[in-house]
Amino acid sequence: MARMALLALLLLLPGGVAFGKSGTIYTPEEIRETLSVRLSTDEVSTLMIPFEGDQEISRLATKLTQNARNEHQKLKSLLAYFRKQGFYEKYDKSRTRTAREVMTDGIGNCLSYANLFVAMARAVGLEAVYLDASQVHSDFGRAGRVLVDYKHIMVGIKIGADLIPVDFDGHARKFNRYQIISDLHATADFYNNLGFERSYVEQNQKGFAANEVAGAFDLATRIWPGFARAWNNLGVAFIRSGRTKQGLLAYLKAIKADKQLAAPYFNLGQVYARGGKIDQAISAFKRAVALDPENAHYLYFLGKNLARQGNLEEALTQLEKGAKLDAGFFLIHMKMADIYYELQACNRARQSASRVLEIVPGHRDASQLMKKLHKICGQAG
């Protein structure tokens, strides 16, 4: 079981952190001024700047660090406060909140806690930056067959030549690498998260098709135009609301922003497949698989469309790879059963259909296929 403790791990990185309008660290006023040319006057006036502090936050940070003799002791004092507050018991990955909101009841996710930590650290003169932990999580749940993509955010405290990462999700683990992101990018991350969360709220029956969901993703892309994940999610919102052309353009912008991100290739493949453009769909799915070869969902859709193309042997190759990665993904086994049936490989078809019934007892298609196999092939294949 993961150790529930706040992590502060030393990481040495070359170079300094840039301040100001073209750099990494911004004041809230600089954020608003910079975005005044990208957003409307009303949007700027109502913009939530996630790390914006207030007098209460500043006074608390000052009080907590009043006996600190150096920057390391200031950091230690802030870390002790976060532990004492029991934030890990209140951690909620689906609650993206500003620094001010977290101060109210302590509830939030990694970005929410990072917002408060940044506000407090900067209030006492620490050089605090946002870190992207560069581990991508894929959500195929309520988003259905379309991938929604997000990442894990931390804080880095720069003291001398060292950058000390601080994690807030309560899980002890190693990260492959860190990337410093600007305050503008973190603000875009904030709205990207809000868009994702707004698709889940109970009163929102439209899910990703809701206007407020697309609005949050759109705002994120205008705050940070190179934000590939937000472009991907905006594409999902457009597709769900029937705006296919706009969705395709959003996926293409996501790919232009980050050619190593698999999600928009996958989503592009979905659109092509539904439009009957099977060759283009296969090309997109192959690119997604090349970028993320251990994703069973990508392999399933690649195999499914290879079968539609008539390339059954290659389809089985991809589906078998997916089955090894996720043995409980019943759709892979069902598609394999259908292909084996088409190839008149009765034993293999029966094995795959049986596997579906093990995972989903009473599955209609698998049950019907088993009856067909018994009638055509008999007890033996």
* DSSP, res 139: E
**Of the given ranges (8-17, 116-125, 282-291), which has the lowest mean pLDDT?**
8-17
| pLDDT value of residue 5 | 40
Per-residue model confidence as pLDDT tens digits over 341-381: 999 999 999 999 999 999 999 999 999 999 999 888 875 54
Q: What is the CATH classification number for the domain harbouring 18? A: 3.10.620
Does 261 fall in a domain? no
Reported as a single tens digit per residue, the pLDDT across 67-118 is 999 999 999 999 999 888 877 677 787 889 999 999 988 889 889 999 999 9
**pLDDT (tens digit per residue) in 37-58:** 999 999 999 999 999 999 999 9
Residue 35: strand, helix, or coil:
helix
In a domain, 166, yes or no: yes
Q: Kindly state whether residue 6 falls inside one of the protein's structural domains.
A: yes
Q: Residues of the chain with pLDDT > 90: what percent?
A: 70
Cα–Cα distance measured from residue 261 to residue 109, given in angstroms and rounded to the nearest whole number: 23
Report the half-sphere exposure of 262 (CA within 13 A, side-chain side): 21
Q: What is the 3-state secondary structure (H, E, C) of 210-274?
A: CHHHHHHHHHHHHHCCCCHHHHHHHHHHHHHCCCHHHHHHHHHHHHHHCCCCHHHHHHHHHHHHH
Examine residue 139 and state whether it is found in any structural domain, yes or no. Answer: yes
Total of domains in the chain: 1
What sign for the dihedral angle of Cα 51, 56, 62, 64? negative
> CA–CA separation, 222 vs 211, rounded Å?
16
The pair of structure tokens assigned to 147 is 């991938």
Nearest by Cα to 25 from 109, 122, 120, 159? 122
Q: In whole angstroms, how far apart are CA 76 and each of 71, 118, 124, 160, 371?
A: 9, 14, 13, 16, 67
**Domain limits for position 36:** 1-205+212-228
Q: What pLDDT is attached to residue 177?
A: 62
What is the per-residue pLDDT across 235-273, written as a single tens digit (0 to 9) for each? Answer: 999 998 999 999 999 999 999 999 999 999 999 999 999
Which pLDDT does position 201 carry in this prediction? 65
pLDDT higher than threshold 70 for residue 145: no
The answer to the question of residue 140 being in a domain is yes
Whether residue 348 lies inside any domain: the answer is: no
pLDDT at res. 150:
61
User: Which position has the higher pLDDT, 148 or 108?
Assistant: 108
- The confidence band for 3, taking pLDDT boundaries of 50, 70 and 90, is very low
Angle between helices 262-274 and 228-240 (to 10 degrees): 20
pLDDT tens digits, one per residue of 326-335 = 999 999 999 9
Nearest-angstrom CA–CA distance, 131 and 97: 17
- Asked whether residue 267 is assigned to any structural domain, the reply reads no
Q: What is the pTM of this model?
A: 0.86
Which residues are within 8 A (CB) of 195 and not within 5 positions of it... i.e. 6 or more apart?
Answer: 213, 214, 215, 216, 217, 220, 230, 233, 234, 237
Position of tokens 């880095």?
Answer: 156
Q: Determine how many CB atoms are found less than 10 A away from the CB of residue 43.
A: 15
Is there a domain that residue 157 lies in? yes
Cβ neighbours for 214, distance < 8 A, ≥ 6 positions apart:
195, 208, 234, 237, 238, 241
Query: What's the pLDDT band for 223 if we cut at 50, 70, 90?
Result: very high
